[in-house]
Amino acid sequence: MKLCTIPNCGRHHLSSGLCSTHYARFRKYGDALVAKPIEQQTKKPCKVAGCNRVSKARGYCDTHYARLRRVDTVSETVPVAYSKPGELNANWKGGVISDGHRRVLIYAPDHPYPNRKRTHVYRYRLVVEKHLGRFLSPEEVVHHINEDPSDDRLENLKIMTQSEHMKLHQEHRKKSVGCEGGSATCQWANN
């Protein structure tokens, strides 16, 4: 049975001649003998010249350490990319996106009730809010009267509660299926 190679340790060997404790310290700090808790360690900058990030492992920041592990070099000449919000992002396309169901979302990071990624709001909600001069609450649903989710004209939009909206669509489904009488199709449409 192999023992840890650190003098006076005496614990069982896990990997690279080190016990689990010393191996974890080596992986985290680059030194198996570091004994300070994380909060007592001084936060040193990354070893890479010009990188101001805090070192996390073996003296490198997360990004440079990941590069080192992935391709065996820290690629000092390649800058560390920071994701920039909104118009500052290189992939900015005007803040208008589609949800894949013919509904359009508009970039509105300061909106109190965003729908997607905490930065976008459905365009039809913004149209109604602008007309009312207030924000819609999350309980308020905007219904498209002509059932076209891409038609966001004010005259095609109606505010209702979630239960009213469900009842309206349930009645519409009954009419489209033809639920007069007690047929099995009618019972399916009611469920």
- One domain for residues 121 and 170: yes
Share of the chain above pLDDT 70, in %: 82
On whether residue 86 sits in a domain, the answer given is: no
Are 31 and 102 within one domain?
no
Question: Under 8 Å CB-to-CB from 123, ≥6 apart: which residues?
Answer: 103, 104, 105, 106, 152
Answer yes or no: is pLDDT of 7 > 80: yes
**What pLDDT does residue 158 have?**
95
pLDDT value of position 122: 94
The overall pTM is greater than 0.85: no
- The CA distance from 143 to 128, in Å, is 11
- Same domain, residue pair 116 and 174: yes
For residues 169-177, give the mean pLDDT: 77
Phi, psi of 12 (to 5 degrees): -70, 140
Domain carrying residue 104:
95-178
In sequence order, the 6+-apart residues with CB closer than 8 A to the CB of 115 are 105, 121, 122, 125
Does residue 100 share a domain with residue 165? yes
Contact (CB, 8 A) for 12 and 2: yes
In this prediction, residue 175 has a pLDDT band, given cuts at 50, 70 and 90, of: confident
Residues 75-84 pLDDT 10s: 777 666 655 6
Q: What is the pLDDT of residues 16-71, one digit of tens each?
A: 888 888 888 888 878 888 765 544 456 788 888 888 888 888 888 888 888 888 87
- The average pLDDT across 115-131 equals 89
Identify the pLDDT of residue 164: 93
pLDDT of residue 189: 42
Q: At 140, is the secondary structure helix, strand, or coil?
A: strand
Is residue 154 in a domain? yes
Q: What percent of the chain has pLDDT over 90?
A: 27
Look at residue 81 and give its three-state secondary structure: coil
What is the three-class DSSP state of 132? helix
Give the whole-angstrom CA distance, residue 86 versus residue 119.
9
Q: Evaluate whether 112 touches 137 at the Cβ level (below 8 Å).
A: no
In a domain? residue 186:
no
pLDDT at 176 over 60: yes
DSSP H or E run through 120: strand 120-122
The DSSP bridge pattern shows strands 140-144 and 120-122 to be unpaired
The domain tally of the chain equals 3
| Mean pLDDT confidence for 104-112 | 90
pLDDT tens-digit series, residues 140-160: 999 999 989 999 999 999 999
The pLDDT of residue 35 is: 67
For residues 31 and 46, state if they share a domain: no
Average pLDDT of the segment spanning 109-130: 89
